Structure 1
Amino acid sequence: MVSIYELKPKFQQLLRPLVRGLAKIGVTANFVTISAAVLSVALGILLLLYPSYNWIILLVPAFLFFRMMLNAIDGMLAREHKMESSLGSILNELGDIVSDAAIYLPFALILDTSSAFVVSLVVLALVTEVTGILGTVIGGSRRYDGPMGKSDRAFAFGVLSLLIYFFSFPTVIYTIVIAALLLLLILTTFNRANRALKEVQS
């Protein structure tokens, strides 16, 4: 199914001049990866401390786009500038999981819907990423299948943040949105597991 992840090659092409410049001044892929995680945790703490300060939520869509840039940059630095390492692979996967949890869990306090519902969404998002990693465990590739991968979740929460700030919807609307995201995550988990199995069996 279609995923924003499919736009990654074009996004990388736009970032390539910046990546070359960063490599020239000695910026490493691991530094970028760690920076993205640290900044994500900082934003998450800010959201947790001030869940009722609506203006803070406007930082979310801007930061999620910035984080997508950092995620693309660290990968390009690693692959195109000979910075790949086992440590880098571990940091990349852990960084994504920590960053997602840090940014999305505060929505349990912010959204006008069941907190448990939102926490379940975040947990399932992490399960989706672990399922993608398991593709390598069984001898295949890291799976990034959609329809609700990392980039898609960032887009969804970015839009959700804007809706929260600019509009006032009843609880049922947010409940429906979270339910839809949960269903998409379940489908994504199934797709990744199914395609990983087909890959190793072919």
Structure 2
Amino acid sequence: MASIYQLKPAFQRLLRPLVRTLARSGVTANRVTVAAVVLAFAVGAALFLCAGHRVLLLLPLALFVRMALNAIDGMLAREHGQASKLGAILNELGDVVADAAMYLPLALRPEFPAVPLVVLVVLAIVVEMIGVVGVQIGASRRYDGPFGKSDRAFMFGALGLVLGLGAPSGAWLGWLLWTLVGFSVLTIVNRARHALAEVGAKEGNA
């Protein structure tokens, strides 16, 4: 199913000149990965500590920067010979930790209903875990939609923008979050199904 992740190649083309400059300057992929996690914790702390809806405007800005950092670290690893086992661990673990650090503090804010938000964050961890499990069973790392990491970032960024500009929260937000919970469950099923189908196709061709 369609996902914002499919726009990643076009985004990478825009970032490639910057990535070349960073590589020449000695910036490493692992440092960029860690920077993305530090950014997530800083924004999460601000969301927890700062009252008032304006702080939610940090979300779209920070999520865009984090998305760029995630693309940059991958390009540095693949295109500039910086791939490593440590980098693979940092990349997968960093995504999950950064999501939790940035999104869970929203459950303590008055604008967001806590229960669906926490369920959504927990399922986000499962979504990424299923993607990695595909590799363990002999498939590729699965990025199937409809609600992967990039889609979550877009949705939370949009909510931060709308609520940060003063739109009233209400029952609509709870319904939206539960809908996204449903999309997350569908994403888990899709990733597992496609991983199994990929393995089955390989075994059939063996």
Using the size of structure 1 for normalisation, the TM-score is 0.96
- Equivalents in 1 of 2:109, 2:41: separation in Å? 17
Partner in structure 2 of residue 95 of structure 1:
94
Counterpart mapping for 1:3-42 below 5 A:
3-42=3-42
Q: 1:170 to 1:34 in 2, by over 3 A?
A: closer
- Equivalents in 2 of 1:111, 1:100: separation in Å? 20
- Asked if the contact 1:111/1:174 (under 8 Å) is kept, the reply is no
- Equivalents in 1 of 2:157, 2:24: separation in Å? 32
Partner in structure 2 of residue 60 of structure 1:
59
- Equivalents in 1 of 2:110, 2:192: separation in Å? 31
Counterpart mapping for 1:112-127 below 5 A:
112-127=111-126
Q: Which moved more, 1:115-124 or 1:85-94?
A: 115-124
Partner in structure 1 of residue 139 of structure 2:
140
The one-character-per-residue Cα deviations of 1:134-154 (angstroms, maximum 9, x if unpaired) are: 001111111000010101000
Letter aligned with residue 84 of structure 1: A
- Equivalents in 1 of 2:153, 2:162: separation in Å? 14
Ranges in structure 1 where 5+ consecutive residues have no aligned partner: none
Q: Which moved more, 1:34-43 or 1:163-172?
A: 163-172
Secondary structure of the corresponding residue to residue 145 of structure 2: coil
Letter aligned with residue 122 of structure 1: V
Shift of 1:46: 1.3
Shift of 1:187: 0.6
Letter aligned with residue 121 of structure 2: V
- Equivalents in 1 of 2:180, 2:11: separation in Å? 24
- Equivalents in 2 of 1:22, 1:9: separation in Å? 19
- Equivalents in 2 of 1:59, 1:167: separation in Å? 14
Ranges in structure 2 where 5+ consecutive residues have no aligned partner: 202-206
The one-character-per-residue Cα deviations of 1:100-142 (angstroms, maximum 9, x if unpaired) are: 0011111112254531221111001111010111001111111
Residue 195 of structure 1 pairs with residue 194 of structure 2: yes
- Asked if the contact 2:60/2:160 (under 8 Å) is kept, the reply is yes
- Asked if the contact 1:23/1:77 (under 8 Å) is kept, the reply is yes
Q: Which moved more, 1:160-169 or 1:25-34?
A: 160-169
Shift of 1:172: 1.1
How well do the aligned residues superpose, as a CA RMSD in angstroms? 1.1
Post-superposition, which runs of at least 4 consecutive aligned residues in structure 1 deviate over 4 A?
A: none
- Equivalents in 1 of 2:190, 2:41: separation in Å? 29
Shift of 1:169: 3.3
- Equivalents in 2 of 1:100, 1:160: separation in Å? 15
Q: Which moved more, 1:89-98 or 1:168-177?
A: 168-177
- Asked if the contact 1:4/1:151 (under 8 Å) is kept, the reply is yes
